Structures are given as structure tokens and as C-alpha cells.
Amino acid sequence: VEQKFVDFLLGPAGQSLAAINHAAGVNVVLDQANKFSGYSLAKIYGPEAKTKHGRLAIDFKISQWLPRSDRSKAGGDVDLWKQRTEAAKRKADEAMQGQASRGTLGSHPSMTVQDRPVMGGML
């Protein structure tokens, strides 16, 4: 396995590699003794039929890799988080504007204390 794929193949906290192990029914061990030469060995342990599935799963995972510069163009995690946050902000702003225009802002029963509107702070 080319060294540039190793982090992607492992995934956060080893979750991607653990998922491959579980799905294929094998145990994949990455031997990084040669990492400074630009590659690591993926040793796949298990029955022969399942090791073929493990190899296929590794090849498929590697085929999903994108260089860092292309991840944002393809809607990578950072862009996706930014889009979700912006969408949530817009939705909250629209809801607040709708309540203010209807005069319902602060009129919910949980927003009053002894028939007085809650103005802020912690109770």
C-alpha cells in the first residue's frame, strides 16, 4: 500500500480498518516497517476466500481517496460541516424573524416565570 493511503485506510482512531476487518471477516495488519521507502505492507489473515474479500475491500477504500486539495472541491468533511452550520444558522434566523413578525417571540408557556416573560440569563 502506498504510504500516502495508510492514514486514509486506517481512518479516525482505526475505525475504517476495523470496519474492513469486520465486514470481510479477516484481520488486516499494516506493517509500516518500510514506510520511509514510501509503502507499507497490508498483511491479511484469515481463510483464503475471506482474504480475497479483504483485499477487495482495501482496494475499494483506496479508490475513494482524494488528495487534500481536491477534498474541499468534492464536498469534504470541512466543507460539509461549514454548509450544515450555515444552513442551521439561516434556519434559526428565519424562525426568529417569523416569531418576531407574528409577535409570538417569548410567548411560549416555558418562556414565562410567574406570568412575566423571561428576559435572559439562567434561572
Per-residue pLDDT band for 30 (boundaries 50, 70, 90) equals very high
Does residue 113 have a pLDDT over 90? no
Q: Is 116's pLDDT higher than 60?
A: no
On whether the CB atoms of residues 3 and 38 are closer than 8 A, the answer is yes
- In tens, the pLDDT along 54-98 reads 999 999 999 988 877 666 555 555 555 555 566 666 766 676 666
pLDDT at 40 over 70: yes
* Winning range, highest mean pLDDT, from 32-36, 95-99, 107-111: 32-36
Of 52, 44, 42, 51, nearest to 1 by C-alpha is 42
What's the grid cell of residue 60?
A: 475499494
Are 12 and 6 spatial neighbours (Cβ–Cβ below 8 Å)?
no
The whole-number pLDDT of residue 76 equals: 52
27-33 contacts, C-beta under 8 A, 24 or more apart: 28/54, 28/58, 30/1, 30/6, 32/6
- pLDDT score for 65: 86
The answer to whether the beta carbons of residues 30 and 17 sit under 8 Å apart is yes
